[in-house]
Structures are given as structure tokens and as C-alpha cells.
Chains A and B, each alone.
Chain A
Amino acid sequence: MSEVEAARYSWGGDEFIFVEMAEQMSLQANFRVMAITKALRDKRPDGVLEICPANASYQVRYDPDVIPPGELLDRLRDLEHQVGDAHDLALPTRVVEIPVLYRDPWTTETLMRFRDRHQEPQTTDIEYAARINGYSSVEEFIAAHSGSPWFTSMVGFVAGLPFMFQMVPRERQIIVPKYLRPRTDTPKQTVGYGGCFSCIYSVRGAGGYQLFGITPAPIYDPTQKLPDFADFMVFFRPGDIVRFSPIDRERYDAHLAEAEAGTFRIRTEPVEFSLHEFLDDPDGYNARLLEVLP
């Protein structure tokens, strides 16, 4: 087992305990979060009310009148040691295809309304992201964004919004700052970017991530009318591996019509993800992952 950073524990008032596995984002930190929260879920102590995994940290909401804080803390520390670096963890998950209309009219209209809150008001968000990440054109940037798989490292902010971490070595990861001041509006199903994370806004609302495009795929359906939501109103789960597929306007409109008719399905395929196989040969492993959904 390799050396891992010791987790940092902090009380969040009388009902929460917050645990930071690492200050920096990495797939390894996220894997440790997933392993610990899964083990806690599998043998959930009485009084544990919510178990919320995040990117490089997690939190537990509990009732201190049922489980004393010190007892829960000991339990979480034990799990931290049991899980170790999670290097050998194999995760049963799925590859998910998200069609994206990059540079669509709706997010473009939105970002133009909020230029005064942006680092570079004279360009669009995707032009800015392409330039600061060293891509010579937006086309090349889109090829990079859609050319590697993404690992869903957290679901939240608002209902069902996935945070996705690019599965490439750190020196090739896209990094884009958030808006200088958050927008008060973002279209539903916008594909955005902030820090090292891609996200899909599940509902319309405020946001600070850069706007790249839009997907016709609903990812949150509180009415549960679409077939993908028959069991639960939220589509994404931590651990989902996402592939963004660029589409044109015609294809976008066709998918949208399917969604309105209630026939649209997000394409998925089950896979088992192995962290150490990925880390040994990221490009080869990714190529195989992307082939899962031809």
C-alpha cells in the first residue's frame, strides 16, 4: 500500500461531521471517499441520517442523541484505515453517453447577458477556455473535451447535478476559473466548467461555471415520466463514467423531440472500473472505455 495523506475531520455543528481526504482533487482521493462511504452505507450505524460523498471529501449527518459524536468519529477513522489507498478497488459502474450541442444558441444568449461578470468580456466562455488551456481553436478544444472519458466524482449542488473529473494525466487536464461573480441564470442541461470539473446543470438557476454547450438529455425528472427515471428522479450516480458526444443542431432537435415524446433514453453500458489499471495506462484504458459504447 502506498503512502496516503491522513484525512482531516471537522465537526459541522451538532449534526454533521465533515471529512476531507485531500486538499487537492485527484481520482485517488475520490476513490477513497467512495470506498469509505460505501462501507459506511453497507453497515450503516443507527443514527446516521445522510452519507454524502463529494470530490475529495465527504460528510455524514447524524443524530448525536442516537450515536455519540465520538463513537461516530472512531468509526469513520477505522474505515479510513481499512480502506487505505483504495488502490485495489474495482468499482462496478456504467459508461454513460451524453450528447452535447457545443456553442448552442441558448447558452450563448445567456453568457452574452452576463459578460460583465466574466474574465474576458470580449470572448465567449469556450473561446476563453480554449485559449487559456493552450488550444489553437475551439474545434480542437471540443475534441479534447469530448475525447476522453470523465469520472462522476460528486452529485449535488442542486438536485442531480454531476461533477465530472477528466480522466487524463494532470498536465493534460482542462482548468478554467469560475465566473468572477456568479450568474443569476443558467439554462437547464447546460454543460459547464469550473476549476477542474465539468458539470451538467440539472435545473435552471444561478451558477458560476463557464458555459460550453447544452445536452438534450434530461438528467433530473421530478415527475418521473421518462423511462430513465422510472425508479428514481435523479439519473447520475457517483462513479458514472461519462462520454460527451458532440452533435449538430439537427440531431439535438431530434433528441429533444424524443425527450418530449417520452421515448428518449440515455445510452449506458455496465463496466467494472479498476483504478490501478487506469493509472498504469490511462490512454489505453480510456480507449477501451470509449469503445464500450460504439
Chain B
Amino acid sequence: MIEVRKPGLSTTVQDGGRTGYYDVGIPPSGALDQYSLRAANLLVGNQAGAAALECVYLGPELAFTVDAVVAVTGATMTPRVNGEERALWESFEVRAGDVLDFGYLTAGARAYLAVAGGIDVPAVLGSRSTYGLGALGGLEGRPLTEGDRLPVGPSADGTAGVRVPEELRPVLAKDVEIRVMMGLYDHRLTDAGRKTFLGTTWTLTPVADRIGFRYAGAKLETVEREPPFGAGQDPSNIVDAPYPIGSIQVPGSVEPIILHRDAVSGGGYMMVATVLSGDLDIVAQSAPNTRTRFVAVDLDEALAVRAAHRERGRRLRAALAG
């Protein structure tokens, strides 16, 4: 059992995600940075998609009532056991009675704490991930609060001292490029509007959570039109449509929003591009004020990027296989 002494800013149970219910508005959820989740789990001998804790900006303080092997990956937020620092991207032991907490965030946004055996909350619709808007999954469908007790599953495989090699750790930067495929409703933008979208260095606003990441920087020019029936008057309005995970909508033609894994599943704002699935990990590690450029790729390039992400995943798995 793990007791929550301090919950941190927003700590939730997340795993590989929930598939098959987006058609009724239940999004995939799961760790926003899937690569870091997989790394943390593999470090402690878990299945790559096992349930772990996602800790945003400010980590929790946790008291362990059992011996455990744990690992922290993702954002640079150094873990401490009874005040003594431990390495990130490396598994270590925690003894019954120990207290684990975190230093200040110095890079990235979300740290992942995996425990050998996984966080053993009940699976709901095939996943242990927390979907806060729907009060579903995780621990009672909500972020952790003081006094919560987290069950840990049985494990035989956890070993301390396993490390992710330097070259397989993501680079956490304050200037990032996010690869996107233009499309969806980008025909609502003029050529100048599309150029502005791809030419602007956007700044991530403080509105950056599991649902969406909102950016400031420029207004996009839209094509004049007679609004189609049911769409609404604003040039950015469409007849309410489904939103892909990673789609970038632009309400009022200002402040693009990238929908992430707790996305609203549909709505009435034009989407103009979609972030490649693998690059959603980069979005996840963006803290407010991160300067961001969107780089357009075509389908063939997107599939090549996807293959490269998978190859990196294979190398990670190979590096951590006992």
C-alpha cells in the first residue's frame, strides 16, 4: 500500500489508455507521455502499459507501507527517499516506512512514477486510467488527495539499478517543433491563414491540461462564407463534428488548442491540423511558455515518423530486457 501524504498539484493513476468508447464521448485517457510511461514500467519489470502515477508540475509525497521497486521518468523532477535524492530513469528500492517525494520541476511537465506490480485500482472499461471529466477509472475517478491509499499489485520482477541509456531518454526543451498533418477543416483558412499557422512561434498558455493545450500567438485569417445550416455564425464554427485525439482547433480563429488524451470527443470549432500520435509525448512535456512551432508533414512522412517512434520503443524494450 502507498499512502498519499501530499497529493501534489494534480496526480492521477494512468496507464496505456482505454480503447473503444470514444463514440460515446469517453476518450482514451492514459498517460499523456506514453513513451515515459512505458519506460518507467519496463524499468520495474511491469508490462509497458501498466498503471502508474502521472505527476504534473509538483510531485506528491508518498509513504510506503511495503517494500517496493520504483522508477521515475518523464519530466525532470528528482525523486527523494527520506530526503535523499535518487536518479531519474533508473529503478530503485523503497522500504516499508520510507517516504518518497520530489524536488522541483526543472524541465518538462509530467513525471511518471511506476511501482513494480503496478497501481492496482480496479480496471473500468478495460483500463485503470483516470478520466476526470467523467469521474471514471483511477482512484474514484479523480486526482489523488491527502489520505488516499493506493494498492500495489503483486510483482516478482522488480530489480533496482536498471537504467534507461542516455540516448533513449527524450530531450526536454523550451523550444519545440511539433509535427502535424494539415487537414480536417483547414480549407476554412485562407492561404495567409495557413501560413500564419505554420509560420508563427506559438507560446503555450497556462491552459494546458489533460483535455487540451492552448497556445497564443496570432489570429488566423479565414475564408468568407455564408454559414452552413446548423454551424453557427462565427467563421470558426462548424456543424458539431468528431475531434481526433491530437487535433488542433481554433475557436474564434485565435489561440489554437491541441486536444490530448482526455479530449472532448466532438464539438463545433474548426480543426485545422492533427498532431502525429508520437509527437503527443512532446506536447505532454510542454510547460506553459514553451515556444512551439507546428511543422506540416504529409501522410508518408507521418508514417515514417511513426515507424521511427516504434523503432525507438523496440530499442527501449531491448535495452531494458533483463
List chain A positions with a Cβ less than 8 A from chain B: 10-16, 18, 20, 23-26, 49-59, 61, 64-65, 69, 154-161, 163, 170, 177-178, 194-197, 202-203, 205, 220, 222, 233-234, 236
A194 to chain B: which residues have CB within 8 Å? 232, 268
Please give me the 5 A-B residue pairs with the lowest Cβ-Cβ distance, nearest first. A25-B230, A12-B244, A13-B274, A16-B244, A156-B265
Given A156-B242, A195-B239: A10 and B184 within 8 A (CB)? yes
B266/A154 in contact, CB under 8 A: yes
- Tally of contact residues, B, Cβ under 8 A: 50
CA distance A234 to B26 in the complex (A): 10
B322 within 8 A of A: no
B184/A18 in contact, CB under 8 A: yes
Question: Looking at the complex, which one of A10, A15, A197 makes contact with B245 (CB distance below 8 Å)?
Answer: A15
A12 to chain B: which residues have CB within 8 Å? 181, 183-184, 244, 246-247, 271, 274
**Pairs A–B under 8 Å by Cβ, sample size 23:** A10-B183, A11-B302, A13-B244, A13-B277, A14-B302, A15-B244, A16-B246, A23-B228, A24-B239, A25-B230, A54-B266, A57-B242, A64-B303, A156-B25, A159-B26, A159-B134, A159-B136, A160-B26, A161-B25, A170-B229, A195-B237, A195-B239, A222-B141
B264/A11 in contact, CB under 8 A: no
**Across the two chains, which residue of chain B brings its CB closest to A9?**
B183
B230 to chain A: which residues have CB within 8 Å? 24-25, 55-56, 195-197
B20 within 8 A of A: yes
A233 to chain B: which residues have CB within 8 Å? 136
B183 to chain A: which residues have CB within 8 Å? 10-12, 18
Interface residue ranges of B8-38 to A (CB < 8 Å): 19-20, 22-26
Mark contacts of B124-139 with chain A using CB atoms, 8 A cut-off: 1 yes-contact digit, 0 otherwise.
1000000101111000
Mark contacts of B109-133 with chain A using CB atoms, 8 A cut-off: 1 yes-contact digit, 0 otherwise.
0000000000000001000000101
A14/B303 in contact, CB under 8 A: yes
B310 within 8 A of A: yes
Contacts A57-B242, A156-B25, A156-B266 aside, 8 further interface pairs with beta carbons under 8 A come to A12-B246, A14-B278, A14-B303, A14-B306, A18-B241, A18-B242, A55-B230, A69-B299
B233 within 8 A of A: yes
Question: Looking at the complex, which one of A59, A158, A163 makes contact with B240 (CB distance below 8 Å)?
Answer: A163
B241/A20 in contact, CB under 8 A: yes
Question: Looking at the complex, which one of B22, B141, B229, B277 makes contact with A24 (CB distance below 8 Å)?
Answer: B229
**Across the two chains, which residue of chain B brings its CB closest to A234?**
B24
Question: Looking at the complex, which one of B22, B267, B275 makes contact with A13 (CB distance below 8 Å)?
Answer: B275
A18/B141 in contact, CB under 8 A: no
